[in-house]
Amino acid sequence: SVRGYRMNSLGPRSAAGNVIGGDRFYQGSTELRYEVVDRVQLLTFLDLGSVWLDSIKKQRIDFGTGVGVRYSS
């Protein structure tokens, strides 16, 4: 999944604007974590991905970036 996008919202669309899905995809993610205090981390991330139909051969790379706080319980 690409953070910042709803599930099944990426990919080729029909003429009506509905997502039709695809037969090819890739995704990647990187995350940097910084220890703030014991068991609390500040993080930054970059996610990217694409879904496409092999028959169309047109790809668009979607990406999401952000920051967050993580607590290790």
Which pLDDT value is given to residue 42?
Answer: 97
Is pTM beyond 0.75? Reply is no
Query: What is the secondary structure of the chain as a DSSP string?
Result: --TTS-TT--S-B-TTS-B---SEEEEEEEEEEEEEETTEEEEEEEEEEEEE-TTT-----EEEEEEEEEE--
Query: Which residue in the block uniquely carries the two structure tokens 């890739």?
Result: 26
Report in angstroms the alpha-carbon separations of 41 from 29, 35, 54, 60: 18, 5, 40, 32
Which pLDDT value is given to residue 43?
Answer: 95
Which pLDDT value is given to residue 50?
Answer: 86
Render each residue's pLDDT in the chain as its tens digit; 73 residues: 788 777 877 888 888 988 888 888 889 999 999 999 999 999 999 999 888 888 776 677 889 999 999 999 9
